[in-house]
Structure 1
């Protein structure tokens, strides 16, 4: 059962600007338009401080494609559900895929959606944490078909090519502007793993190869994100940022690393533009000094896999959270997270210089999502696991993204990580996000009109 909550009720949850911030701040404003209920039967197990529905590393958990918005979730019975609606305000239609059931309660075992513009197929990767891949795809054209059914999806597969995929985690789909769909996924384990890249052409996946090596040095890269820009349509760049973990202990997360590719991930360049790696034969070293763009020490409460976005000017923005510079090191990761603040990092495309802006916003064990509108203004939706409130924070391009302002605070009803529909904000001017309520059973999708 999916319900619609009128904008008037949603607006009743709006809180205010931070004390001391001017009402005339240039940061974009947001106006609630609707909240719809995606499900009231979401999976309720709570592990690693989150649910199987709504984790920052889902790329993507909610996405708009060609006039349709898609969202995926696990139900309490352990089935994958895929819902869609026509934007801006169509009713949700749901498919429940009952030929596969999970016994997992592990919040790492999320569902990621990929849509291939080359043939309109919908791709789902799910239920994997240092375990065998689970993947399925639809028939061609289903992403825009006026009607759909479960019969439009093929069987669950455990590998993409002839190569076994038995120890993988964090599937992340992303599309090249020419319509090519790709998938990055970790092989190995926390503290000793690699990132590998696959590419889809209609009907077939091929391996591009390993592009980040962590096992040689006994560590692993945790991606903040991986995505293309479209600044120069003739040569879209693939940008990837990450932090490195030395052991399975999150306190060993450290530093911000960056690389980009001009050829769909075949060769890789550092921030200065020098070719430093080739996928498959000579991958990026996860902790290479030539790839480190900002020093963040161990024992700083640095959470892995927060968020990344690239704006229309080709500027890479990273949302991270860690202890402020004035705080002492703390090897107790849970305690460190209690005072870790959200930090915005960004790379100026012209000068290739990286910048850092601290914000006063807290999350505790939660993680936020950062997105950009058509005017290159920034929006963050983040939770606070202590207060169970969601916040929308915005910053304007005109200020150099320094005027971070809270534009909304929810009632104390949300938990786990909110997920923004990046494409809908960038192309249609609507901030739409997936937000699990505390307890896990109800998942809301909130829609906000943005005004810069």
Structure 2
């Protein structure tokens, strides 16, 4: 079903600092770290000297062209401080957010049209670093996620506050400016926070978000899976049954509301946060999670629990609104995987393993109801941190491109796998 068509080297100068078992390049919450837009593939990374780099290549065979942004240099070694980027389909601007873990926003954007053929691919096509959006500062933020609506509106979800006590807020970019939509998940009222598996649109314009809740900074307090969706670009939110239950800004989603919980899973279950979410062409929401199986006793030490935690596929049936679960059985240690969908709604899970450094690719077909999970490839012990899938390229060209740092972090590869339905 898949065949390795080629591997390119994105860099041999990636940042090598390791914390929380991962690198500053290749973390599951990078939305996005690699994507395709208008015939070009883009990828962003930190180099060893602490500078943000963004590269692009003309598909299918063009070479990488790199831009190194040397007017801002990080001193961080924190793997939370990744580089995320988004592209506005409406004006071709490229937006970068980087270097923050409960810290001040760092954001910059390109000149208009840089992603659609206008301007020069060079550092001076990117504006200065800013510490706020929509006219206000953002002093304590983490986990920026860019995503675009079907009509081209670019949005940004980001956490304010800290682990165990934070909110999710929403911004929107149109006509060359950001506006603040509001707080859409409230955690601070309840002294906890939502960790998103993902947020994104389906083809009909519904915005889907799934998350787990953490009660304290201790990851062992992660619990349950929650879901909501919006018909109006995140202004109002509906529960799994379709009832409007929240309004962004004035009455946001309550992070741990039992009415939003779609799958129970208690604390001390090795449940990792921020694994992955994808929505297929039929609007089915798929979530990749990992935690202990039902028959395994609870383990309070999170790192120990992760040794026994297995990957789990959740999905929502549109007609019945019933959620389903399938334990895939594979472990990944402290790493996190990425779930992706092709143009035929077949699923792909790309996962690493913090202990073995093996990169694995598994697939399941829509025809089987995603029951025929099969491991298609297992690498030598050569990779670390979290692999990232280019979701846009897989959806449109049925090519599985994987951003995968090699062990040590200096070398980052992009593997291209051809797929057949």
Range class of TM-score, shorter chain: over 0.9
Among residues 435, 448, 451, which one is paired with 2:404 in the alignment?
435
After TM superposition, list the pairs within 5 Å mapping 1:28-427 onto structure 2. Answer: 29-145=1-117, 147-230=120-203, 232=204, 236-427=205-396
1:73-117 Cα shifts (integer Å, max 9, x gaps)? 000000000000011111000000000000000000000010000
More off after superposition, 141-150 vs 392-401:
141-150
Distance apart, 1:144 and its partner CA: 2.4
Cα distance in structure 2, aligned partners of 1:65 and 1:350 = 32
8 Å contact 1:420–1:432 — kept in the other structure?
yes
Q: Name the TM-score, length of structure 1 as normaliser.
A: 0.92
- Please list the CA deviations of residues 38-73 of structure 1 after superposition, one character each: whole Å capped at 9, or x if unmatched: 001100000011000000000000000010100000
How far 1:203 sits from its partner (Å)? 1.4
| In structure 2, C-alpha distance between the alignment counterparts of 1:310 and 1:87, rounded to whole Å | 24
Contact conserved, 1:199 with 1:208, CA < 8 A, in 2? Answer: yes
Q: C-alpha root-mean-square deviation of aligned residues, in Å? A: 0.7
**8 A contact 1:62–1:71 mirrored in 2:** yes
Mapped to 2, the partners of 1:80 and 1:394 lie a distance apart of 33
What is the rounded CA distance, in whole Å, between the counterparts of 1:79 and 1:262 in structure 2?
39
Per-residue deviation, 1:163? 1.9
Distance in 2, matches of 1:218 and 1:140, equals: 41
Structure 1 unaligned spans of 5+: 1-28
Q: CA offset at residue 385 of structure 1?
A: 1.1
2: CA distance, partners of 1:151 / 1:436: 28
Q: Using the alignment, how far apart are the partners of 1:426 and 1:408 within structure 2?
A: 20
C-alpha contact 1:68 1:144 (8 A) present in aligned 2: no
**Cα shift readout 1:220-274 (whole Å, capped 9, x = no counterpart):** 00000000000x3xxx100000000000000000000000000000000000000
Deviations 1:341-380 (A, max 9, x none): 0000000111100000001111001000000001100001
Shift of 1:339: 0.8
Report the Cα distance in structure 2 between the residues aligned to 1:145 and 1:362, rounded to whole angstroms: 43
State the shift of 1:202 in Å. Answer: 2.4
SS of the counterpart of 1:216?
helix
Q: Please state whether the residue corresponding to 2:49 is helix, strand or coil.
A: coil
Cα distance per residue 1:411-448 (max 9 Å; x no partner)? 11100000000000000110001000111111000000
The whole-number CA distance in structure 1 between the counterparts of 2:116 and 2:135 is 30
Distance in 1 (CA, whole Å) between partners of 2:409 and 2:202 is 34
Unaligned runs of 5+ in 2: none
